[in-house]
Amino acid sequence: MKQTIASAAITCVLTASSLLSFSCNNANETAKDLTAKKDTVPTAAPATANPAVGTLTPVDTAKYTQLQKYLANGDSSGRWPVKHEFPAAGAILPFNRIVAYYGNLYSTRMGVLGEYAEPKMLEMLQGEVKKWQAADTTVKVIPALHYIAVTAQGSPGDGGKYRLRMPAKEIDKVLKMAEKINALVFIDIQVGLSTLEQEVPLLEKYLKMPNVHFGIDPEFSMKGGQAPGKVVGTFDAADINYVADYLAKLVKANNLPPKILVVHRFTRKMVTNSQSIKLRPEVQIVMDMDGWGHQARKINTYRQFIYPEPVQFTGFKLFYKNDLKEANSHVMSPEEVLKLKPKPIYIQYQ
């Protein structure tokens, strides 16, 4: 039986905290093709998990320290830069700023990745990379495709988990797109009533690839048993530590460069006990400000929920459409975003 990506039906939930800035990543979905054959484990022909990575370049610790201070952007609170041990060889951050396009290929409304035909989408992404590079010549800018491989659902589905796993062929399409512009790939999951322990291992084939990184979305982690979209979900530090530990083991076992783990956030309760998140040399954690709205609201959300609870690196999300919904609002320019303390090292467009 075919199953519709019911994230389409998920509507915004405006709580006291989410009024500051809210994501509603999957709201009002009206794409032409929103069906997947079934909720399955990816079953594509096995890919080479670890193509020859070659010798990974050891981290230039002096440059790493210099760039971390640069990203702190004059912060005098002592929070930034975060003090931690140096990353393992081959680390991407903070030597590069990542500019990513987000979405799902079945959908024209869940993000720019699926909204435009591939040539147009890649051209647009490369254009944004150039803009960011011009705005900050200190840090090299590289492109990425951030694909939602498990989508939250408004209906329970066959497994009763309110989530739909994308077919492997869709993930493979994103990998092929990324090859054309030498981009990184992020696989993102919205677990619904499932768990990270159930979903992450199913993607191990892809996570063993050196150019594939990971994202988790607390907004659609429904620990209270509600359907996604009824309330804003949550992950605890224990959840994030589970994923980071899983990725770290893959990195060590397969001689991979450190994995980047993006955690979306736009309210305080979306991430609990953040001070207990454990940092590892094999994983680089980005706390991504995921809210949309007027630029003043977005900046305020970053200051309230990202800045005061430092983890490691920060990200900032820009919405081509939702950021224009309020009067006198606009999509923030690279120059505006770079005024934040700390400067985000991961930028995502939806």
pLDDT tens digits, 141-164: 999 999 999 999 999 998 899 999
Is there a contact between 154 and 9 (Cβ–Cβ < 8 Å)?
yes
Is there a contact between 125 and 99 (Cβ–Cβ < 8 Å)?
yes
* Helix, strand, coil percentages for the chain (3-state, nearest 5): 30, 20, 50
Report the pLDDT value the prediction gives residue 55, as an integer from 0 to 100.
Answer: 87
Nearest to 297 by CA among 270, 319, 272, 269: 319
Query: Helix, strand or coil for residue 286?
Result: strand
Beta bridge partners of 289: 265, 316
Pairing status of strand 184-189 against strand 140-152: parallel
Report the pLDDT value the prediction gives residue 319, as an integer from 0 to 100.
Answer: 97
Beta bridge partners of 349: 101, 318
pLDDT tens digits, 92-124: 999 999 999 999 999 999 999 999 999 999 999
Report the pLDDT value the prediction gives residue 51, as an integer from 0 to 100.
Answer: 46
Report the pLDDT value the prediction gives residue 123, as an integer from 0 to 100.
Answer: 98
What pTM does this model have?
A: 0.89
Under-70 pLDDT residues of the chain = 1-53
| Angle at alpha carbon of residue 279, lines to 278 and 280, rounded to 5° | 120
Give the count of beta carbons closer than 10 Å to the beta carbon of residue 46: 8
Nearest to 10 by CA among 200, 188, 199, 226: 226
- Residues 220 and 92: their CA atoms lie apart, in Å, by 28
Q: Which CATH class is domain 3-42+67-349?
A: alpha beta
**Which 8-state DSSP code applies to residue 37?**
S
- Residues 221 and 226: their CA atoms lie apart, in Å, by 10
Nearest to 10 by CA among 176, 137, 119, 163: 163
Longest dimension (CA), the chain: 57
Report the pLDDT value the prediction gives residue 38, as an integer from 0 to 100.
Answer: 53
Report the pLDDT value the prediction gives residue 30, as an integer from 0 to 100.
Answer: 28
Report the pLDDT value the prediction gives residue 40, as an integer from 0 to 100.
Answer: 57
Where do the domains of the chain lie? 3-42+67-349
